[in-house]
Structure 1
Amino acid sequence: MGMMEMVLKHPEELPALLKLQLASMQATRFLPPEPHWAFCYKMLQNVSRSFAIVIHQLGPELRNAICVFYLVLRGLDTVEDDMAIPIDTKVPILKAFHEHIYDTSWHFICGEKDYKDLMTGFHHVSTAFLSLAKGYQEVISEMTQRMGNGMAKFIEVEVETIADYDEYCHYVAGIVGLGLTRLFYAAGLEDFALDVLSNSMGLFLQKTNIIRDYLEDINEIPAPRMFWPREIWGRYGTALEVFKEEDRSEDALRCLNDMITNALKHGPECLQYMSALRDPAIFRFCAIPQVMAIGTLALCYNNIHVFRGVVKIRRGLTAKIMEGTKTMSDVYAAFDDFSGILAAKIDKSDPSAVLTQRYVDEIRTACKARFLNKTKRKTFSIESKTGHEICLVLAILLLALIMILIVWR
C-alpha cells in the first residue's frame, strides 16, 4: 500500500504517522561527538529505525548499554545469517564472539549493505562496549556467549520438534529478553524477579518474525534457512516448500494457523511481565514490540498472502501503536483488540481451532480482568476505512509537510 493510498484509507492515523516521522528525524540527527558512539548510533538507525526511536526515550546510561547490546547481537546474527561463510569458519566465530567484543582490533567482514558496514567497523562497537560500566559488560558478554553457543548448535541441526523450536527461539530471542531484564536490573530500575518471565517476551517476538518471514526465508539464496518445526508443518505437507503452491492453499493456511496458535501461548506471560515494569521509558521500550507482535499475528492468521508475498502492519498503524502505547491499560486494550480480530477469523473446522480459541480466550480474559476503564473501546483496526473526504486528507498532509519542514530547519 502506497503512502497516499494508506492515508486516504486511514486518515485517523496521520497524526501518529507525522509524530513518528518527526521522532525518526530527531533520532537520525542524534550523533554523540565520540567517534565510537557516533558509529553505534548511526548503525542503530540504519539497521533498525523503529528500535532506534524507542531506545532514544531511555536514560543515557541504559540507552548506551542497550544500544551496544543490540549491535553486538546484530553482529552475531549477521555471522549466523551469512550463508557464504563455511560452517567450519562460522561455528568457531559464533562460539568466541563474546571474546571478540573485548578486542578493539577485531573485525570480520560479512553480511550485506548496512550489516556489512556494521561488521567492517565493529571495532567501534567494541570500544563503546569497553566504556560501559562493568555490570553492563558482564551481562552483555554472558548473553552473547550463550546465544553464540546456541546458534552454533543449530547450524547443522534441523528444527524437528516443538521442543527444538522453543530451544532455538530461546537462544536467539529468549536470551535477549533475559539480557535486557538484567540490564534493567543493573541500572537499578527494575526487579531481578522478572527473569522468570523474560523468555516468553523473546519467544513471542521471535515466533512472530519466523511466521511472518516464511517466503523471504524459504527463497533465500543459496539455500533456505527455515525454523518452522517439522512436528507442526509435517501434519499438513511433505515439505515446507509445498505451501508456496497455489493448489496447497488449504494445507498452507492450516499449517500457518497452527504456527500462530503455538505463538499465542506466550501471550499471558508477556502481559504479566509488562504489568510488573515500573519505569515508564522501559515499559514503552518493552511494550511497543509486543503490541506489534500480537497485531502481526492477527494480520497473518488465516492469511494466504504469508505464502505469496510480504505481510506487514502498515506504517500508519505502526505509528499509532508507537504513539498510543503509554500505559498498561493501553497494552491490555491493544491485546484485546487484536486478539478479537484474530478470533473473528477462526474457522471451527481448522484442526487447531479449539486450541487457538483457548489461547485467545486466556489473553482476552487477562486483559478484561485488568482494564482500568471497564468500558471496552476499539483501539486498533487492521481493515481499511472508506468514505473520508479527500480534501480534508490533503489539507492535513499539507499541514504535516509544513510542520516537518519547520522542525527540520
Structure 2
Amino acid sequence: MPCSCKAATSFFKRTLALGPGRPSAGGSGPGLDAGARLRSSCAAPRAPVQLARRLRFLGAHPAAAASSACAPLTPALSPQDALSASLRRCYLYLNQTSRSFAAVIQALDGELRHAVCIFYLVLRALDTVEDDMTINLETKVPILHNFHSYLYQPDWRFMESNEKDKQVLEDFPTISLEFRNLAKVYQDVIADVCHKMGVGMVEFLEKKVDSEKDWDKYCHYVAGLVGIGLSRLFSASQLEDAIVGQDMALANSMGLFLQKTNIIRDYLEDQLEGREFWPSEVWNKYVKKMSDLAKPENIDKAVQCMNELITNALHHVPDVLTYLSRLKNQSVFNFCAIPQVMAIATLATCYNNQQVFKGMVKIRKGQAVTLMMDATNIQAVKAIMYQYVEEIYQKIPSTDPSSCRTQQVIASIRSMSLPAGALVSRAPYSRVYLSCIMLLAALSWQYLSTVSKATEEYVHTGEN
C-alpha cells in the first residue's frame, strides 16, 4: 500500500500528538470495527505523516513557565511588537492551523520566534498540497518539486485545494512576503528544507516503507528534516552555538525519535485510516499482513513486533541526550526537551502493552504536567530518561525475540544518564511543593490558552 508522506506537518503536528491533550486518545479505544467512530473523535487530522501532528502536545505545556517556577509568563505578542499587517496575518494563520504550536512558538526568544512561525507555515502549505488527495499527481508532483521556488515568487498562490488549511495556499503571497522579510540566513535554511522535503514527499507518494532503512529515510523526510531545519534556525539566531545547526546527524535523530514514537503508538489509528508506516521487514517476521497484528489470536506476536520497533526507536536516545546537552538558551531547551521526555514516557507506556492494538494509548495528564515542569535542564532530562528506560527494562519478557537488543540499548542509555556512575534520581518533593507545582502548571496551562486567544484577537484587531 502506498505510503503517504505527510511530511512537514508531521514533526510539528505529530510530535505534539504525544501529549495528553489528544481528544482521540482517551482510555480504551474502539476496535477496528469502529473506524468511523475513532476518526470522528480526532480533533486534528493526521498531518502529513505529520510534522504538524508530531508537536501537538507542546501546545499543552507552559513553555515559558517551565523554565522557572518563579518566572511569570510574558505574552510573546503584544501591541509593542508593532507587527506588520502581513506578519499579524501570519500569526493568525498559525493560530488557525495549530493553536497549540502557536503557544510554543510564542515562548521562543527574539527574532527566532518569527523565523519558526514562517518555517511552520511554509511547511504547512507544502504539506497541504501533499495531503490533498483531490489534486492529481500530474499537478501535485511539479508543485512539490518546485515549492521552494514559490517562496521567491510574490504572486504565487494555489486556489484548487480542498483541504481545511487551504488558506495558507490561497494567501501564500502573505507568507512568502514575510519569508522574504526574514534575514537571509533564515531564508536559506527554510528554502533548503522545503526543497528537500518536497523531493522526499514525491519519493514516498507511491513508495512503501519496506525495510528499516526505508523507515529511517521516511522519518528523515517527515521529521528529521524539520529537526535539522529548526537546529539551523537556532544557530542562525545566535541563541545557540554553530555546532547545534551543523551536527545534522544529531538533529535528525531528534526528529526520528519523535516520529517513530508516534508511528508506533498510532498503529490502530493508522490502520483505520488506511495508512501503514511500520516497516514490512519487521512485521513480516510475525504476520502475513500488517492488519493481522490487530487480530486477537495474534496479540502475542503483535506485542513482540512492537517491542522490536520500540527497541529500534530507543537507539536514538543517546543522540537526543547529546543534542540537548549542547543547548544554552532556556526557551530553546524547553522547546526541544519537552517533546523528547514525552516521547520516552510514551514508549514506556507502549512497551509490551497489548492496548496499543486495541485502542489508543496515552500518558496520564498529571504525568505529562510533571514532565513539563521537570524537563528544564539536561540533568533533569537525563534523570527522566533513566526513569523510563528502567521502567521498560523491568517489563522486558525473557521470551521476547528482541530482549537482548533491548537490554543492550538500555545499558547505553543508562551509561549516559548516570553522572560518574552514580544513580540519578529526581529530587523528592514535599507534598506541599508538589501541590504548588501542580497548581502553577494548571494556572500556566490556562494562561497559555488565554494568551493564545488574546493573540488571535489582537491579530484581528490589528487588521481592522
Correspondence for 1:91 among 141, 150, 175: 141
The aligned residue for residue 259 of structure 2 is 206
Q: Indicate whether 1:67 and 2:120 are aligned.
A: no
Root-mean-square deviation over aligned CA pairs: 3.4
Q: CA-to-partner distance for each residue in 1:223-269, whole Å, 9 max, x for gaps?
A: x2322111111111111111222222112111111111111111101
Q: Name the residue aligned to 1:6.
A: none
Which residue identity does 1:213 align to in structure 2? D
Equivalent residue, structure 2, for 1:218? 271
Q: CA deviation at 1:30?
A: 5.9
Q: Aligned residue for 1:354?
A: 404
| Amino acid in the other structure paired with 2:95 | Q
Q: Which runs of 5+ in 2 are unaligned?
A: 1-19, 23-59, 67-72, 455-464
Q: Does 1:142 align with 2:192?
A: yes
Q: CA deviation at 1:181?
A: 1.6
Alpha-carbon distance in structure 1 between the residues aligned to 2:417 and 2:65: 32
CA contact (8 A) 2:384 2:426 kept: no
- TM-score, normalised by the number of residues in structure 2: 0.72
Alpha-carbon distance in 2 for matches of 1:46, 1:370: 48
Aligned with 1:367 (options 411, 417, 425): 417
Are the aligned partners of 1:78 and 1:111 in contact in 2 as well (CA < 8 Å)? no
Equivalent residues of 2:253, 2:320 under 8 A apart? yes
| Aligned amino acid, residue 265 of structure 1 | H
Within a 5 Å distance, the mapping from 1:230-379 to structure 2 comes to 230-369=280-419, 376-377=425-426
Q: Which residue of 2 aligns with 1:10?
A: none
Residue number among 97, 110, 114 corresponding to 2:161 in the alignment: 110
On the 8 A contact 1:181/1:192 being kept in 2, the answer is: no
Change (3 A) 1:159 1:37: same
CA distance in structure 2 between the partners assigned to 1:334 and 1:379 by the alignment: 13
The CA deviation string for residues 356-377 of structure 1, in whole angstroms up to 9 with x for no partner, is 1211221122111369x95523
> For 1:227, what is the secondary structure of its paired residue?
coil
Task: Name the CA shift for 1:97/1:316 in 2 (closer, same or farther; >3 Å).
Answer: farther
Aligned to 2:29: none
TM-superposed deviation, 1:37: 2.0
Cα distance, 1:375–1:229 mapped onto 2, change above 3 Å? closer
CA gap 1:200/1:337 in 2 versus in 1, 3 angstroms? same
Aligned mates of 1:18, 1:26 — CA distance in 2: 14
Aligned AA for 1:168?
Y
| Residue 157 (structure 1) shift | 1.2
Higher mean Cα deviation, 116-125 or 257-266? 116-125
Structure 1 runs not aligned, ≥5 long:
4-16, 381-387
Q: Structure 1 residues 199, 120: closer, same or farther in 2, change over 3 A? A: same
Question: What is the distance in 1 between the residues matched to 2:241 and 2:21?
Answer: 43
Q: Given the superposition, is the C-alpha separation of residues 207 and 110 from structure 1 closer, same or farther in structure 2, using an over 3 Å criterion?
A: farther
Pairwise CA distance, 1:18:
9.5
CA contact (8 A) 1:27 1:52 kept: no
CA distance in 2, matches of 1:69, 1:160: 30
Cα distance in 2 for residues equivalent to 1:22 and 1:270: 23
Deviations 1:143-166 (A, max 9, x none): 110111011111111111111111
For residues 324 and 112 of structure 2, the distance between their equivalents in structure 1, rounded to whole angstroms, comes to 18
Which stretch has the larger CA shift, 229-238 or 84-93?
84-93
Contact 2:286 2:305 in 1 (8 A): yes
- How does the TM-score come out when normalised to structure 1? 0.81
Amino acid at match of 1:226: E
State the structure with bigger RCO (CA 8 A, min sep 6), 1 or 2.
Answer: 2
Distance 1:45 1:308, change over 3 A: farther
Alignment CA distance shift 1:303-1:183 (3 Å)? same
Matched, 1:120 2:170: yes
Of 191-200 and 94-103, the range deviating more from structure 2: 191-200
**Aligned partner of 1:377: which letter?**
R
Does 2:133 align with 1:80? Answer: no
8 Å contact kept, 1:147–1:175: yes
Q: Percent identity?
A: 45
Q: 1:93 to 1:103 in 2, by over 3 A?
A: same
